[in-house]
Amino acid sequence: MGPLSRDAWAQRLGAFRASPSAFMAGPEGEDLGRNLLGDLRSEKLSEQTKVSLLALSLEYPAQLWPDVSAAEVAATSLLDTLVLLPPRPSALRRPLLLAATTALAAGGALGPTSGASCRLLPLLLGLASGSDLGRGFVPASEQRPLQATACECLRELESCKPGLLGGSLGLLRGLLGQEGPVQPLSLLLALVLRNTLVLQSRVGAGLGGLLTDKVSPTGGGPWDWTLVEKGDGRLQPQAPSWPAAEEGEGERSLTAREHSPEEARELRAAVIQLLDTSYLLTPVAQAQLLWLLGWALRGLQGQPPALFKPQLVRLLGTAQMTLLHAVLALKAAFGEALFTAQDEALLLRRLTLAAQHPALPLPTHLFYLHCLLSFPENWPLGPEGEEAAPLLLGPQLCRGLLPSLLHDPMALLARLHLLCLLCAEDEEEEKGQLPSPRHYLEELLAGLRQQAALDEGPRALATVCFQASYLVTRCLAGQPIVLTPLIHGLAQLYRVRPMLASHFVDFLDQVDSELREPLKVVLQQEVVSRLGRDEALCWHLKMLAKVADGDAQSATLNFLQAAAAHCTNWDLQQGLLRVCRALLRAGVRGGLVDLLQVLARQLEDPDGRDHARLYYILLAHLAGPKLGVALGPSLAPPALASSLVAENQGFVAALMVQEAPALVRLSVGSHGVKGPLPVLKLQPEALEPIYSLELRFHVEGQLYAPLEAVHVPCLCPGRPARPLLLPLQPRCPAPARLDVHALYTTSTGLTCHAHLPPLFVNFADLFLPFPQPPGGAGLGFFEELWDSCLPEGAESRVWCSLGPQGLEGLVSRHLEPFVVVAQPPTSYYVAIHLPPNSKLLLRLEAALADGVPVALRTDDWAVLPLAGDYLRGLAAAL
Amino acid sequence: MAQRAVWLISHEPGTPLCGTVRFSRRYPTVEKRARVFNGASYVPIPEDGPFLKALLFELRLLDDDKDFVESRDSCSRINKTSIYGLLIGGEELWPVVAFLKNDIIYACVPLVEQTLSPRPPLISVSGVSQGFEFLFGIQDFLYSGQKNDSELNTKLSQLPDLLLQACPFGTLLDANLQNSLDNTNFASVTQPQKQPAWKTGTYKGKPQVSISITEKVKSMQYDKQGVADTWQVVGTVTCKCDLEGIMPNVTISLNLPTNGSPLQDILVHPCVTSLDSAILTSSSIDAMDDSAFSGPYKFPFTPPLESFNLCYYTSQVPVPPILGFYQMKEEEVQLRITINLKLHESVKNNFEFCEAHIPFYNRGPITHLEYKTSFGQLEVFREKSLLIWIIGQKFPKSMEISLSGTVTFGAKSHEKQPFDPICIGETAYLKLHFRILDYTLTGCYADQHSVQVFASGKPKISAYRKLISSDYYIWNSKAPAPVTYGSLLL
């Protein structure tokens, strides 16, 4: 394929830059690196296009030449292209040098076995030293710029392979003294000096003659890699972060090594040489030089940090961020050895004024503020690594650095931090400072809340308000005098703008319990005090789901009951249910049951109803701890599945039923005779506290319809329990035996299953009265029933013994609800309805002192023996 | 001490992505070091697309501010510097130096030569200040003399070549990109030895030195018991020295008249070679007394070729140039306003212009206005809810002028009328805009005779002065107003 046209390349480069990964994955990706190298030699492309190709290779060598061998090939090709350039000025030499350097360094090919490295290094060093490379290789007009470029390339290679140029120290120093370009040579020399010092001291050697040896290592022989090998190819931080440097192994060995007087003198001379000409460097380059030399000389014997002193006054006067930063680095490196207490105070003052100087931009102010709070003090007091106001930064110095509402959010927060630190100190010091920083802080927070409360305000205003509040709680924890007004201010903010609920929830999540608990209480009050329809209902529900707990139950439940009527859409219903869930978890029971039942019936949305029902069932069945587990955060990933599923997973996991002895006793109490069905009144009694009791009944012989289970939330020994009502649906009017099973949770959270002794339903337990006929019509009604029993039914007569209370006593104790006609004390007509549809009629007439004859009729002959037994039983019970 | 990558992004609210990457440059050799230094905590530089999205999100420049997003809005995510952590593909890229200026976001990622977990304090990362200077340098280059979009595009297109000079491997060599541009243009000139790196060539021509002093005065006036009015002068001295020779030496002295206000908080250009300790320590932090150093302020330096800011200073003059009060009261449907302005007798009564802007925030458009003014004209911008009182070139002989009237507003429509989080209810301000030529409030001047130039030929020396208002606020004294801590120190 021939070379691409300029436009084709422009298009390709554009496509590549838009998304390098997508381009490389496409059809053109594979050949891009090779085509690029090839087209650099094409005569059809302009220099400008070739420069743009090289620019690409400077940024994306890893994509173009992804492995070491490809990088080596590319570097070789780039060097060949460079050599083949015609001997006239060209814009390609510089970028070709940069590209070859980048390909080798970034591609990991730089090393003694790399042919390209062995060609590039001597070439660069030759260019840097301005020596004649012959054959018109460098046109005169390009010599100077290429010399600088070669220095930059060497510096980059030295950065990636420390020690690479150790053997050239003397040469570089000599060049700096002669006529080389000051800045590139200074920076290169400083870097090589620093790396050599570290590497030599690691192996316990001094600089030896390295600083004075001016012989070029390229003097015909191969490149000297020994120093690189000593360093194991480990990178050297050029300007180490200072806490790391404290612990750095290299630094320790630096201090350990003592240089000979001669070495020390040469080293000092080299450093002075560099510092003296540093004024000629650009400010950013000066700063690099200071970082490099500062950390190179730190702790080195015979190298007084006072060498830096002549530079300091000049540097302190400038507004240049890199220069002031470099001074701070020197401060961190040398401390008191370079900065006396007065110097330290001056530096702090300069920093303080730079942090607020109206002529400087905001990012600069913010960085200097950070520097102030991380200031490397000579004698720091506080814990390391924490932001704190330096000791010498008193209230007087801070005055201009305090926040106001007119500041940009970041400046406000940074300055607020300082104000908080002042307030924290102020507490310990004497009062009487006017105005008190604390008072000012309160006013400021109130102002922020006022902004956050604005209806049309952007969210950023609210965010700043909460960030400021959080910062204050972090810095001034344990100061109720600050926190109390903060809590009330926030509650007021919620009252005005409930739509900030999400911020409140986040805030509650972040702050300590010292603030969280009281804030929750006031927020809960704030929400539940708003009964009735409210446009902010969704926010109230969100808030309540966070703050609702066992306290103020009734108010919360009242609020929810009132709110339920307005929860007309899915969102609101879910919000409501989330609050219920929070209450469940908080252990609220009474009242919540009713609410959940109502919700399970009333909510429009089926999902909502299902949720309510689930919560209701959980509440009815599970003890507190188990509820906690069932409702706790599910470990299952929150997929798209309904939350119901997630909850159910927790629920199932918690529910493992155990067989156990019965911890509950049941007895049958007096039976009720109201309603259309006979109801068995059961009296439960627990031997230990049990929860979520479910009683299941089974009727032997299918005499009755299957019985519904009965639920009891909780039973405790010694605490009277409400009787349980068990409605019976007889299929025939006969007594029966009930098998009973119990399922319950113990106080330890175990779910147990137990078999209880059977219960017996007596014949009399099935008795129901007939509806009372209107007054005076009783006799006629009874006679009608009496007559209707025959001929299908049966008739009998029984003698029933009477006790000392006579017939009156017997009737009032056993038959009172069923009496239709009464002529006390001698005569009673009794009509009993036996579900499902039988009747039993009794005439008790002409009682004697010891007994009464009973005439009985029924429409169901099977009842007759039961009735006979019943009456005889009454007699026997006397 | 290097940068891993740099970006320029134009912020375009209302477009789908809300921005476009206008320029980006990566430094793979630095990236390789980052991988080694950062170890397990290394996060690679993302491609432009994901970076754009993450940065706009973090800077709140996407249009989706509606909902609360924890990773941005949480109260514990507090950013107190222009240095951010960006969440990209589940990992956090840190430190990202970034700021927005004139709808362009400037961003870069400095190399941290150690592990990032735990994060080292920013003060100890050398690349951070370099990153800032880099971005400031690009900003200066893009906006120096730039007037319109096409010029901006031209300058953006020059950036790749310029960075090849100024920052070929990620380590910044010169923040002044204009120097690099000149360097490229003058590449054929053989530079003599010991040329400063910040001076790319030599000047040939008539020697001349131009010094211009611009003072900006800002003020907060409350007209209230218990709250002090504040004002401050901020001065900038700009020089352009066209002198022959490699390193001509110049000393400029700034002088004050006998009753002038001392200069404080002096920051100088790096080309200044030495500083008197009185200049270094004169600071607004200290309480003023009569012994304060009052000049002459001498600045010896070797000038760069281009125009540069020799120094900045602040000063506390005894009185504000214009003292005013502003009273605003809500009366049922209308606002009643009364304004009084008084020019101090010591101030030169000869303005290039003087205006009072009276904005009404968080209200509807102005529907009705009745007013009476003792001087000047009133312009009404109904839709913007703004009144501009044009005072003109001179205050009247009495030096005192007033404006009173009533303003009625229509219904508020959110798009058109300005919103302000501070000016709620009766909290309101008026802002003064004025300029006086050939005058400084401090009295500061550069004496042409005291300028010393050590170069061949006697240069022509010209000096200029001007006073400009900046953030000159007069707050409604009938309502609460935001105060600074300094205002409470009476």
Sequence-ordered alpha helix ranges (H) in A395-435:
395-398, 409-428
- Write down the domain spans for chain B: 2-182, 208-319+441-474, 322-438
Within 10 A of A272 (CB to CB), how many other CB atoms are there?
12
Record: contact A145-B70, CB cut-off 8 A: no
**pLDDT value at position A640?**
38
**Do residues A200 and A211 make contact, with C-beta atoms less than 8 angstroms apart?**
no
B118: cis peptide before it, omega within 30°? yes
Asked if A314 is an interface residue toward chain B (Cβ–Cβ < 8 A), one would say yes
Domain at A767-877, CATH homologous superfamily: TATA-Binding Protein (3.30.310.10)
Q: A164: which chain B residues are within 8 Å (Cβ-Cβ)?
A: none
Q: pLDDT tens digit string along A577-621?
A: 889 888 888 877 778 888 888 888 888 888 888 888 888 888 887
CB within 8 Å: A106 and B267: no
The confidence score (pLDDT) of residue B183 equals: 65
Taking residues A731-742, report their average pLDDT.
Answer: 87
- Residue B374: its pLDDT value, please? 95
pLDDT digits (tens, 9 = 90+) for A468-486: 999 999 999 888 888 999 9
Give the mean pLDDT of B156-166. Answer: 92
Condensed to tens digits (0 to 9), the pLDDT of residues A305-342 reads: 888 988 888 899 998 999 999 999 999 888 888 899 89
> Is cis: bond before A720, omega within 30 of 0?
no
Q: Is B174 touching A (CB cutoff 8 A)?
A: yes
Buried b (16+ CB within 10 A) or exposed e, B406-441: ebebeeeeeeebeebbbbbeebbbbbbebebeebbb
Contact B365, B425 (CB under 8 A): no
Contact B483 A404 (CB under 8 A): yes
Share of chain A above pLDDT 70, in %: 89
B28 and A61 within 8 Å at the Cβ level: the answer is: yes
In degrees and rounded to multiples of 5, residue A392 shows phi and psi of -80, -5
- pLDDT grade for A191, boundaries at 50, 70 and 90: very high
Best B129, B143, B313 residue to mutate vs chain A (most A CBs within 10 Å) = B129
CA A710 – CA B92 distance, rounded (Å): 57
For chain B positions 367-406, those within 8 Å of chain A (CB to CB) are: none
Q: What value does the mean pLDDT of chain A take?
A: 84
Q: Answer whether residue A646 shows pLDDT above 70.
A: no
Query: Hey, what are A744's tokens?
Result: 């319950």
Q: Write out the CATH class of domain A658-764.
A: mainly beta
Mean pLDDT of B248-255: 94
Which pLDDT value is given to residue A385? Answer: 65
Q: Which of B391, B475, B487 has its CA nearest to residue B436?
A: B391
Identify all chain A residues contacting B124, using CB atoms and an 8 Å cutoff: 241-244, 329, 332, 374
The rounded distance, in Å, linking the Cα atoms of B131 and A322 is 9
Grade residue A221 by pLDDT with cuts at 50, 70 and 90.
low
Closest in B49, B125, B129 to A19, CB measured: B49
Mapped onto helix, strand or coil, the DSSP state of residue B6 is: strand
Higher pLDDT, A424 or B309: B309
Q: Where are the alpha helices (H) located in A335-408, listed in sequence order?
A: 341-354, 362-373, 395-398
What stretch of H or E contains A834? strand A827-834
- Residues of chain B with C-beta less than 8 angstroms from the C-beta of A374: 121-124
Pick the CATH number of B2-182 from 3.40.720.10, 3.90.1150.10, 3.30.450.60, 3.10.20.30: 3.30.450.60
More confident residue, A243 or A65: A65
The region of weakest confidence among A131-140, B211-220, B331-340 is A131-140
CA A237 – CA A42 distance, rounded (Å)? 41
- pLDDT confidence bin for B129, thresholds 50/70/90: very high
pLDDT at A248: 47
What's at B186, amino acid-wise? Answer: F
C-beta atoms of B174 and A284 within 8 A: yes
- In chain B, % of residues over pLDDT 90: 69
Beta strand segments in A230-361, E:
none
User: Is pLDDT above 50 for A192?
Assistant: yes
Residue A119 reports pLDDT greater than 50: yes
DSSP category for residue B226:
T
3-class state of residue A495 by DSSP: helix
* Residue pair A318/B268 in contact by the 8 Å Cβ criterion: yes
Provide ipTM, 2 decimals: 0.95
At A609 the pLDDT is 85
Distances A536 to A213, A508, B24, B390 between C-alpha atoms, Å:
81, 20, 46, 47
What pLDDT is recorded for position B414? Answer: 62
Contacts of A345 (CB under 8 A, 6+ apart): A392
Cross-chain Cβ contact A313/B274 below 8 Å: yes
Residues forming a β-bridge with A470: none
Say if A757 is an interface residue toward chain B (CB within 8 Å). Answer: no
HSE, CB side, 13 Å, CA atoms: give it for residue A774.
0
Looking at residues B460-474, what average pLDDT do you find? 96
| Cα distance between residue A308 and residue A50, in whole Å | 45
Return the CATH architecture of domain B208-319+441-474: Sandwich (2.60)
Nearest CA to A643 out of A633, A652, A653 is that of A633
Give the residue from A473, A501, A471, A467 showing the smallest Cα distance to A487: A473
The per-residue pLDDT for A250 is: 43
| Position A228 pLDDT exceeds 80 | yes
Instruction: Tell me how crowded residue A471 is: count the other CB atoms within 10 A of its CB.
Output: 20
B69 has a chain A CB within 8 A of its CB = no
- Note the pLDDT tens digit of each residue in A91-115: 899 999 999 999 999 999 999 999 9
Q: What pLDDT band is residue A636 in, cutting at 50, 70 and 90? A: very low
Using CB atoms, pick whichever of B122, B270, B485 lies closest to residue A318.
B270
User: In whole numbers, what is the pLDDT of chain B averaged over residues?
Assistant: 91
- A136: alpha, beta or left? (left if phi > 0; alpha if psi -120 to 50): left
| Count of C-beta atoms within a 10 Å radius of residue B209 | 23
Of A222, A220, A212, A223, the closest CA to residue A171 belongs to A212
What does the pLDDT average to over B286-298? 78
- Does A633 score more than 70 pLDDT? no
| Interface membership of B32 toward A (CB under 8 Å) | yes
Determine the pLDDT at residue A649.
47
Output A618 or B381, whichever has higher pLDDT: B381
Nearest to B267 among A58, A318, A397 (CB): A318
In this structure, the number of other CB atoms found within 10 A of the CB of residue A182 comes to 22
CA neighbor of A418 nearest in space, from A393, A447, A446: A393
In a 10 Å sphere around its CB, with 0-12 CB exposed, 13-18 middle and 19+ buried, how is residue B277 labelled?
exposed
Hey, do B208-319+441-474 and B322-438 end up sharing a CATH topology, with the first three levels equal?
yes
- B258-262 own/partner pairs: CB under 8 Å, 24+ apart: B259/B443, B260/B294, B260/B295, B260/B442, B260/B443, B260/B444, B261/B233, B261/B315, B261/B316, B261/B317, B261/B318, B261/B441, B261/B442, B261/B443, B262/B288, B262/B292, B262/B293, B262/B294, B262/B295, B262/B315
Quick check: B288 pLDDT over 70?
no
The per-residue pLDDT for range A246-267, each reduced to its tens digit, is 544 444 444 445 677 888 888 8
Contact of A248 with chain B, judged by CB distance below 8 Å, is answered with no
Task: Evaluate whether B329 touches B426 at the Cβ level (below 8 Å).
Answer: yes
Please, which residues 145-164 of chain B have a Cβ atom closer than 8 Å to chain A? Answer: 160-161, 164
State both tokens at B480: 């609460």
pLDDT at A799: 82
User: Which of B485, B487, B488, B490 to mutate to probe the A interface, most A CBs <10 Å?
Assistant: B485
Q: Is A585 helix (H, G, I), strand (E, B) or coil?
A: helix
The pair of structure tokens assigned to A300 is: 């080195």
Residue A343 sits at the chain B interface (C-beta within 8 Å): no
Under CATH, which number does the domain B322-438 receive?
2.60.40.1170
For A261, phi and psi rounded to 5 degrees?
A: -55, -40
Residues in contact with A249: Cβ distance below 8 Å, sequence separation at least 6, in sequence order: none
Percent of chain B residues past pLDDT 70, beyond the cut: 96
Q: Chain B contact for A19, CB < 8 A? A: yes
| E strand or H helix at A189 | helix A182-202
Chain A contact set for B79 (CB, 8 A): 410, 413
pLDDT reading at A206 higher than 80: no
Q: How far apart are CA A453 and CA A287, in angstroms?
A: 46
Higher pLDDT, A572 or B388: B388
Give the Cα separation of A474 and A497 in Å (integer): 24
Q: Residue A624 is encoded by which pair of tokens?
A: 């507190």
**Nearest-angstrom CA–CA distance, B2 and A158:** 14
- Range from A299-308, A426-435, A676-685 carrying the lowest mean pLDDT: A426-435
B173 vs A59, A282, A457: nearest CB: A282
Mean pLDDT along residues A404-424:
92
- Is residue B212 within 8 Å of B458, Cβ to Cβ? no
| CB within 8 Å of A250: residues ≥ 6 apart | A198, A201, A202, A236
Average pLDDT over residues B172-187: 76
Residue A434: what pLDDT?
A: 62
A381-405 pLDDT, tens digit per residue, is 766 667 777 877 877 888 889 999 9
Q: Which of A19, A145, A318 is nearest residue B268 as measured by Cβ atoms?
A: A318
**What does the block give as tokens for B294?**
């009052």
Secondary structure of residue B21 in the 3-state scheme: strand
C-beta separation of A274 from A186 below 8 A = yes
Q: Which of B124, B227, B429 to mutate to test binding with chain A, by most A CBs within 10 Å of its CB?
A: B124
The owner of tokens 């603030």 is A515
Q: Which chain A residues touch B156 with a CB distance below 8 Å?
A: none
Distance from the Cα of B312 to chain A's closest Cα (Å) equals: 7
Which one, of B141, B145, B142, B53, lies nearest residue B103 by Cα? Answer: B142
Tell me if chain B has a CB within 8 Å of the CB of A160: yes
Tokens at A506, concatenated: 């986040």
